Amino acid sequence: MTRPLAITAALIALALLYVALGSGLDFGYVIPRRLIKLAAMVTGGIAVALASITFQTLAGNRILTPAVMGYEAVCLMMQALLVLILGTGSLILWGGQGSILITLAAMLAWSFLLHHWLFRRARGDIWFLMLVGIVLTMVISTFTQFIQLRISPGEFAVFQGFAQVSFERVETTRLIISALALTLVAALIWRRVPVLDVMALGRDQAISLGVDHARETRHLLALIAVLVAVSVSLIGPTAFMGIFVANAARAMARGPGHRQTLPVGAAVAIGLFLLAELAAAQVFDHRTTVGILINLTCGAWFLLLMLRRRSFA
């Protein structure tokens, strides 16, 4: 059996196990609800994988992801600001279809800022990019925590629910909108795969081979912003998951090209969601959350990756 077929078979087996295990074959409520959550995992997983792998190609580094560069922190800050200004009315807005539009606007504005301020100044200095990204994320997160202290306990509890990875709050309408947006962006990125392969060689080499690097970077950052908006509004912030997904995809793919790494990355992300959901339900009996399990696993991977890179430096 070839590797792509083996990965696909393993993913289908995990999906069937998730849908059927402990469901009591209840086709009236349990299984339809699990199918909706499975669709959210597929949509969110593909969005996380495409955003992370594409962003790492633009940055030229395997540690940077949209989460490390503050995308998700900006989203949470916007959410906290809305709660502070509008109160519980903003929670209704955030829980509905308005969340996608608000998140998308925030992500596009952050992408514009990153491109025009940070990427042009850094000029390939990855450590400068990562340092600024981490500092920005810390500053924005601290400001978000300051805002949280000023909202009521009830609003804070609901806000925390939206600030963690969860498939429980997925709604059918929001899932359909997210899937449509993802399909459009994925098609646009897939058309740019040859350009991404050239850009992976480095900025100077890409320019020498005829790629308009500035224009492609601007367009791809906008597409990444849409992908982050889809994943955050649908399932919540995934923190370090993108680093794990992108590096695992490169290790498992048959070649370095994006035509191999992007599908494998999507499969890894969906598989990780399924494993975390199964572990939370069957192993920990819902006494922990999917977000905690994913952040523990992927945070440890990020730390290991940093230590390995320093040992080779």
- In the 8-state DSSP scheme, what is residue 279? I
Long-range contacts of 117-126 (CB under 8 A, 24+ apart): 119/58, 119/217, 123/203, 124/60, 124/202, 124/203, 126/59, 126/60, 126/61, 126/63, 126/64
b/e per residue 17-37 (b: at least 16 CB within 10 A): ebbeeeeeeeeeeebebbeeb
| pLDDT at res. 54 | 92
Instruction: Please say whether the beta carbons of 223 and 82 come within 8 A.
Output: no
| pLDDT at res. 313 | 45
Dihedral, CA of residue 90, residue 94, residue 100 and residue 101, to nearest 10 = -10
Joined together, the tokens standing for residue 73 give: 């922190």
| pLDDT at res. 99 | 62
Whole-prediction pTM: 0.84
| pLDDT at res. 298 | 82
Beta-carbon count within 10 A of 294 CB: 25
Beta-carbon count within 10 A of 126 CB: 14
Residues constituting the chain: 313
| pLDDT at res. 42 | 94
Reported in sequence order, the residue ranges of the chain that DSSP labels E, i.e. its strands, are none
Distance CA 114, CA 132 (A): 10
Per-residue pLDDT of the chain (313 residues; tens, 9 = 90+): 677 788 889 899 999 999 988 888 888 888 998 999 999 999 999 999 999 999 889 878 777 778 777 777 887 787 778 777 777 666 665 555 566 677 777 777 777 777 676 666 656 565 676 677 778 888 888 888 888 888 777 777 767 766 777 787 787 888 888 899 999 999 999 999 999 999 998 888 888 988 888 888 888 888 888 888 888 877 878 777 888 898 889 888 877 789 999 999 999 999 999 999 999 888 888 888 888 888 888 878 777 777 766 554 4
DSSP H or E segment with residue 29:
none
Distance CA 232, CA 245 (A): 16
Distance CA 237, CA 122 (A): 26
Spatial neighbors of 76 by CB under 8 A, at least 6 apart, are 141, 144, 163, 237
